[in-house]
Amino acid sequence: MSTKNIHSENYQSICVKDPIVESNNSHIPPIYATSTFSYEDLEAAFAFFRGENHIYTYSRFSNPSSAFLAQKIAELEVCGLNIEARGLLFSSGMAAISAALLSQLKEGDTILCQSVIYGAASDFIHTDLASFGIQTIDHDLKDFEDVLKVIKGNPTIKVLYLETPANPTLSCVDIEALSKIAHEYEIKVIIDNTFATSYIQQPFKLGADIVVYSSTKFMNGHGTGISGAAVTKSIDDHKKVFRILKNFGGVCSPFESFLLNNGIKTLPLRINQHQHNAQMLADYLFHHEKINKVNFLGLLSHPDYELAQRQMYGTTGMMSFEIKGGLKAGMIFQENIQFCTRTASLGTADTLITHSASTSHAVIPEEIRLKNGITPGLIRCSVGLEHIDDILKDFEQALDKI
């Protein structure tokens, strides 16, 4: 997979008619900063608008900068698997998530949704989709017999939506077991794989139908751009997601595609270091007297440790931890952090911390947050690539202030 992260075998084929590529054989894919493409063949252009072929006409439909990268992401998703996949790039992770869901749902349908997911995704599902007449059933998805009972009792369920590992508790669900149950009832399985990326987890191997990403995060890896991705196994699903992308217009710009491709090239190296640093920080926090709990998949204490070992190739660079003293202690810690960065994003080269209850999950009612382990003292941490001694030193001095 590390080689595929760097080399783009589909680049020349996707851009083959570009005279710049043919004459100069550009090593790095250029930025195609154009809104339109001229019609060299009128009949081919007319056929495109009839849906009979693919040529470049308008960058809302497709652009070489995003087209080759979308397929590269799809190839990474199925690396080593005997599966064909197709990718699409979006302007953000939420654009990808909303397009994937809208592509499979209509008025009267129901989503069976993992109970703890990213706050904006939860808001979209429970508020915006509800306004379209699409209902949601939240479930922790741990008890398979109960999941089956829910599905049998609700024939309108058309999508099973998962986020594993979940934000911010790193809780995991069994993708393979749930996919088997869902497919028995012709339910599509959509998974947000942002925390893991295909380098750590390949949902298609475990039965998923559509995989979505906020590629803003670990894929880009440097906090330099906003983008999203959706990868499908079937041509039919690809066409459905593309229709939403085209009609809603949430396309990834050529420049954002360029930045994302640069980030993907170093993804394996970065993920390895993220995981190494996260393990050391988690071990430190686990034994700290001012910490109640550490959510990290590399700790035996995590309730989903064994499941993660089965369906993942690593632990990710994400964790969360609960500080003794609740909200007040959490605020003191954040106010005194110096070396690390206070911000709501994740997956960048530098270590980022955020208070989930008041940022990414602020839109979720408090009782639901508490039920899912998002307590007032919970801090999420995206562990960066700095020297671990510097990270630990900053955490130590901030915790000493509590």
247 burial via Cβ count (<10 Å: 0-12, 13-18, 19+): exposed
Pairing of strands 228-232, 188-192: unpaired
Q: Tokens representing 384?
A: 């960066």
Q: Residue 85 sits in a domain of what CATH number? A: 3.40.640.10
For residues 181 and 25, what is the distance between their CA atoms, to the nearest angstrom?
Answer: 49
Residues 6+ away with beta carbon under 8 Å from 309? none
- Within 10 angstroms of residue 145's Cβ, the number of other Cβ atoms is 8
Name residue 235's amino acid.
Answer: I
The domain in which residue 207 lies consists of: 2-265
Residues facing residue 322 across a β-bridge = 293, 378
105 lies in the same domain as 157? yes
- Which letter does DSSP use for residue 252 in this model? P
Residue 9: its pLDDT value, please? 56
Phi and psi at residue 266, to the nearest 5°: -105, 10
Helix (H) or strand (E) segment spanning residue 197 = helix 197-200
150 and 113 in a single domain? The answer is yes
Element (H, E) at 22: helix 19-24
Q: What is the pLDDT of residue 18?
A: 52
Rounded distance, CA 345 to CA 118, Å? 12
Instruction: Tokens 């990213």: give the residue.
Output: 118
Q: Which of 158, 195, 214 is nearest to 320 (CA)?
A: 195
Q: Would you give per-residue pLDDT tens digits along the chain (402 residues)?
A: 777 777 765 544 555 455 444 445 677 888 999 999 888 788 877 887 787 787 888 999 999 999 999 999 999 999 999 999 999 999 999 999 999 999 999 999 999 999 989 989 999 999 999 999 999 999 999 999 999 999 999 999 999 999 999 999 999 999 999 999 999 999 999 999 999 999 999 999 999 999 999 999 999 999 999 999 999 999 999 999 999 999 999 999 999 999 999 999 999 999 999 999 999 999 999 999 999 999 999 999 999 999 999 999 999 999 999 999 998 999 999 999 999 999 989 999 999 999 887 766 767 777 777 787 788 889 999 999 999 999 999 999 999 999
| Residue of 292, 356, 291, 287 whose CA lies nearest to 318 | 356
Instruction: Say how far apart CA 326 and CA 375 lie, in whole Å.
Output: 8
369 with 310, same domain? yes
CA distances from 171 to 115, 141, 304 (A): 10, 11, 6
238 with 361, same domain? Answer: no
Two structure tokens written together for 402: 């509590």
Asked whether residue 110 falls in the same domain as residue 233, the answer is yes
The token duo for 301 is: 């204490």
What pLDDT shows up at residue 280? 98
157 and 287 share a domain?
no
d(CA 79, CA 75): 6
Q: Are residues 125 and 186 in the same domain?
A: yes
Q: Maximum Cα–Cα distance for the chain, whole Å?
A: 72
CA nearest neighbour of 98 among 159, 155, 150, 140: 159
Among 240, 265, 290, the domain-final residue is 265
Domain limit, last residue, from 215, 241, 265: 265
- Tell whether 244 and 159 lie within a shared domain: yes
The whole-number pLDDT of residue 22 equals: 47
Same domain, residue pair 256 and 323:
no
DSSP state of 316: -
DSSP assignment of 72-126, as one string?
A: HHHHHHTTTSS---EEEEESSHHHHHHHHHHTT--TT-EEEEESS--HHHHHIII
Residue 335 is part of a domain; what is its CATH number?
A: 3.90.1150.10
Q: Which of 371, 197, 342, 350 is nearest to 274 (CA)?
A: 350
Q: Are both 261 and 362 inside the same structural domain?
A: no
The domain tally of the chain equals 2
201 vs 77: CA distance, rounded Å: 9
Q: How far apart are CA 203 and CA 189, in angstroms?
A: 10
Domain boundary among 214, 245, 265: 265
289 and 348 housed in the same domain: yes
What's the CA gap between 278 and 85, in Å, rounded? 31
Say if residue 285 is in the same domain as residue 240.
no
Q: How far apart are CA 291 and CA 288, in angstroms?
A: 6
Q: Which residue has the tokens 């562990």?
A: 383
> In Å, how far are 1, 68, 79, 361 from 9, measured between CA atoms?
13, 9, 13, 40
